[in-house]
Amino acid sequence: MPPDTATLTPAEYQAHHGLSVLGGWLPVVIDVVAVVVLCAAIGWRTRRWRLLWVPLCAVIGVGGALIARTFVDDEGLASDPSPLRLWLWTAVFVGSAAVAVVGWRGARWWRRGVSLLAIPLTLLAALSALNQWVGYYPTVQSAWGAVTAGPLPDQTALADLPAQRNTVPATGRLVQVSIPSDASGFTHRDEYVYLPPAWFAGPTPPKLPVVMMIAGEFNTPADWMRSGAVMPVIDDYAHNHGGVAPIFVFVDAGGRFNNDTECVDGPRGNAADHLTKDVRPYVISQFGASTAPADWGVVGWSMGGTCAIDLTVMHPDLFGTFVDIAGDHGPTAGTKDQTIERLYGGAAAQWAAYDPATVMRAHGPYDGVSGWFEDTAKPVGAVSNSTQHGNHPQPASPLGFGGHDDWRDTDEDHAAQDLCAVAQGVHIDCSVHTVTGYHTWQFAAHAFTDTLPWLTARVHTPATAAAAD
């Protein structure tokens, strides 16, 4: 990687490589333009319009925002308090649609056009507010790449790999793969495999360790690269270790948007079987990776954090290390009863079969398994999910969404503390780390950077194992 970016954090790298949509002038311009166009769409018109129809549109807008907020709260989609700005813009968007419909009859042709224009502009402002809360797309470039499904950094085709053997590229290569799901039957999107420079050296690939990367509920495998900006971090690590790094596999645990599988087998798909019976054998056979469980780790954030510990403690014969970034106590899709119904089709016994604490206690002592928990500690003055309603501070940094931190009677790091205590009781070497912040991709990227030296050592990356001690 270029020397001027080698020391940048993921957030800094993104700031240097695109137009920010998390701050700066662009979100302000979007808001101002949306307000101006909406005011033009409303206009002065008639007395009846001003006294009856405009207030009615405002009421419709507020009602739409309340319905949206109630849904987010009831479904447990947000791990941090939602900002007022998001719901104001949601109300404005719904209200703008009402203005276009109610005011269409009798409006001049140009005002009809402006009314139609106000709808996507206010929607864009609402999406901007949402993005500033979650930190999903840090730049215009990352958002555009996701929308257009453009190529990712250092991406190459699977068919081109043989021609690249016996070389030592400056950076690793990212390969988009369509992994067969013969064992699981799980319908999934394309996944990605990162191959470090050392993989290409020599006539045959070395038996490198593997790290499986699992994102959150509302994510795709590519989001680790687009929103998490992990590629420069991994490439920097490889650059500083003679081109040697683990193979990273960016998997699809959901199959589609908002299919919250929690990495279990059930009505939402056999996600666990896909990761253990499809992905792992494929990576071993296709890329010559190590087969040793001690050489395999799982990293996950949000929902993926829960998956990371769950997969490892359920399958110590497949994985030896996990990194749980802001996960929950266990797979969750609402209350315990809702979880049993939604994730397991009403099979209550499956809840215990996938509950990490229950699994660890039933398994008994583990041998050679280790874990790292990293979670957020709310800044002073912030409120927990259990008190979402009311007045909340509005920090400048993005907040969190999509975390499914459903244990609302505890603070956000409580799951990490509880699970690590159980893990230590069954001889799993684990530690808990907290940073001040919120449930965002920026936090996930920071946490990944924090854990990488420890992780690479634990999965026995050549010449790094001593760092694990």
Q: pLDDT digit string (tens) for 158-174?
A: 999 999 999 989 999 99
Percentage of the residues of the chain whose pLDDT score is greater than 90: 63
Model pTM score:
0.76
Same domain, 193 and 117: no
Cα 17 from Cα 231, distance rounded (Å): 13
Which pLDDT belongs to residue 333? 87
Of 85, 102, 134, the residue at which a domain comes to its end is 134
Number of folded domains in the chain?
2
Cα 92 from Cα 122, distance rounded (Å): 7
Which pLDDT belongs to residue 216? 86
Which pLDDT belongs to residue 185? 96
Residue 90 in domain: yes
Same domain, 98 and 226: no
Which pLDDT belongs to residue 376? 84
Which pLDDT belongs to residue 350? 95
Regarding predicted confidence, which is higher, 79 or 434?
A: 434
Cα 437 from Cα 321, distance rounded (Å): 25
Same domain, 293 and 265: yes
Residue 10 in domain: no
- How far are the Cα atoms of 120, 257, 443 from residue 271, in angstroms, in the given order? 36, 14, 25
The answer to whether 116 and 201 are in contact (CB under 8 A) is: no
Residue 376 in domain: yes
Same domain, 362 and 215: yes
pLDDT greater than 50 at residue 9: no
Of 104, 134, 164, the residue at which a domain comes to its end is 134
Q: pLDDT digit string (tens) for 374-401?
A: 988 766 555 443 333 333 333 334 444 4
Which pLDDT belongs to residue 88? 94
Q: Which residues of 168-199 are buried (b: 16+ CB within 10 A; e: fewer)?
A: ebebbbbbbbebebeebebebeebbbbbbbbb
The residue whose two tokens read 């270029």 is 2
Which residues make Cβ contacts (< 8 Å) with residue 125, sequence separation at least 6?
Answer: 30, 31, 34, 89, 92, 93
pLDDT greater than 50 at residue 469: no
Same domain, 197 and 104: no
Q: How many CB atoms lie within 10 A of CB 314?
A: 20
Residue 15 in domain: no
Q: What average pLDDT is seen over the chain? A: 85
Same domain, 286 and 228: yes
Parallel, antiparallel, or unpaired: how do β-strands 321-325 and 296-301 relate? parallel
Sign of CA dihedral 236, 141, 144, 326: positive
Residue 390 in domain: yes
Regarding predicted confidence, which is higher, 28 or 227?
A: 28
Of 78, 100, 134, the residue at which a domain comes to its end is 134
Same domain, 165 and 312: yes
Same domain, 104 and 241: no
Sign of CA dihedral 315, 337, 344, 406: negative
Same domain, 213 and 82: no
Which pLDDT belongs to residue 412? 43
Same domain, 119 and 175: no
Three-class secondary structure assignment of the chain: CCCCCCCCCHHHHHHHCCCECCCCHHHHHHHHHHHHHHHHHHCCCCHHHHHHHHHHHHHHHHHHHHHHHHHHHHCCCCCCCCCHHHHHHHHHHHHHHHHHHHCCCCCCHHHHHHHHHHHHHHHHHHHHHHHHHHCCCCEHHHHHHHHHCCCCCCEECHHHCHHHCCCCCCCCEEEEECCCCCCCCCCCCCEEEEECHHHHCCCCCCCCCEEEEECCCCCCCCHHHHCCCCHHHHHHHHHCCCCCCCEEEECCCCCCCCCCCCCCEECCEEHHHHHHHHHHHHHHHHHCCCCCHHHEEEEEECHHHHHHHHHHHHCCCCCCEEEEECCCCCCCCCCHHHHHHHHHCCCHHHHHHHCHHHHHHHHCCCCCCEEEEEEEECCCCCCCHHHCCCCCCCCCCCCCCCCCCCCCCCCCCHHHHHHHHHHHHCCCEEEEEEEECCCCHHHHHHHHHHHHHHHHHHCCCCCCHHHHC
The model's confidence at residue 438, banded by pLDDT at 50, 70 and 90, is confident
Same domain, 128 and 157: no
If you compute the radius of gyration of the chain from its CA atoms, what whole number of angstroms results? 24
CATH at 390: 3.40.50.1820
pLDDT greater than 60 at residue 76: no
The answer to whether 110 and 416 are in contact (CB under 8 A) is: no
- Residue 372 — left, alpha, or beta (φ > 0 → left; ψ -120 to 50 → alpha)? beta
Determine which of 114-118, 147-151, 194-198, 355-359 has the lowest per-residue pLDDT on average.
Answer: 147-151
Which pLDDT belongs to residue 370? 97
Percentage of the residues of the chain whose pLDDT score is greater than 70: 83
Which pLDDT belongs to residue 137? 72
The model's confidence at residue 125, banded by pLDDT at 50, 70 and 90, is very high
The amino acid that residue 282 corresponds to is Y
Residue 355 in domain: yes
C-alpha 22 chain-centroid distance: 17
Residue 193 in domain: yes
Residue 141 in domain: no
Cα 42 from Cα 263, distance rounded (Å): 48
pLDDT greater than 50 at residue 410: no
Same domain, 377 and 250: yes
Question: 43: buried, middle or exposed (CB in 10 Å: 19+, 13-18, 0-12)?
Answer: middle
Structural domain span for residue 382: 150-468
pLDDT greater than 60 at residue 3: no
Sign of CA dihedral 196, 202, 204, 209: negative
Regarding predicted confidence, which is higher, 153 or 32?
A: 32
